[in-house]
Amino acid sequence: MRTLKLFAIGIILLASSTIHAQVSVNVNIGTPPLWGPVGYSNIDYYYLPDIEAYYDIRASQFIYFGGGRWIRSRYLPGPYRNYDLYSGYKVVLNDYHGSRPYSNFKNHKVKYYKGYHGTPQRSIGSKGNKVYKNNGRNGNQGSRNGGHENGNNGRGNGKH
């Protein structure tokens, strides 16, 4: 009889642990940042003409030239650590889905020069309701360490 009770308790514990083991995990890979422009889906990259950099939406990384190479970082490069991503113009690269948007940099730099503004844009999130990530400065994700990831000290050679 005692064995039967232990067996029943074991089955109940096993069943209850199985029921509780079903966990739902939501990961937002490829979600545009709050400072991204409204109205675009299936976009992989933005080009930021004011800082001559790209933003990879899928990886949530900035891509910029520094130290003689293209660098991927969660943070903006040092000289742009206070750049306001909400106010800056974002060129939506809806015609590129590879892994190196900078392969078209020479064309992008000419076509979308510093200060370029095409059609008016509205950000996904509101500037006043920014989520302060990492550093709390301007609500920008990406400026705390001045681009020191990937062995870069934030001092590029200035060549593009």
* C-alpha–C-alpha distance, residues 93 and 47, integer Å: 7
Q: Does some domain include residue 33?
A: no
Average pLDDT over residues 98-109: 97
SS3 state at 54: strand
pTM for the predicted model, two decimal places? 0.65
Q: Does some domain include residue 68?
A: yes
Residue that is written with structure tokens 């076509």 in the block: 111
pLDDT at position 30: 75
Q: Does some domain include residue 38?
A: no
Domain containing 102 equals 45-151
Percent of the chain with pLDDT over 70: 65
Tally of domains in the chain: 1
Question: Which residues lie below 8 Å from residue 47, measured CB to CB, with a gap of 6+?
Answer: 53, 54, 90, 91, 93, 101, 108, 112
- Strand ranges of the sheet holding 53-56, from the earlier edge strand across to the other edge: 69-73, 61-66, 53-56, 45-48, 91-93
SS3 state at 134: coil
Q: Does some domain include residue 29?
A: no
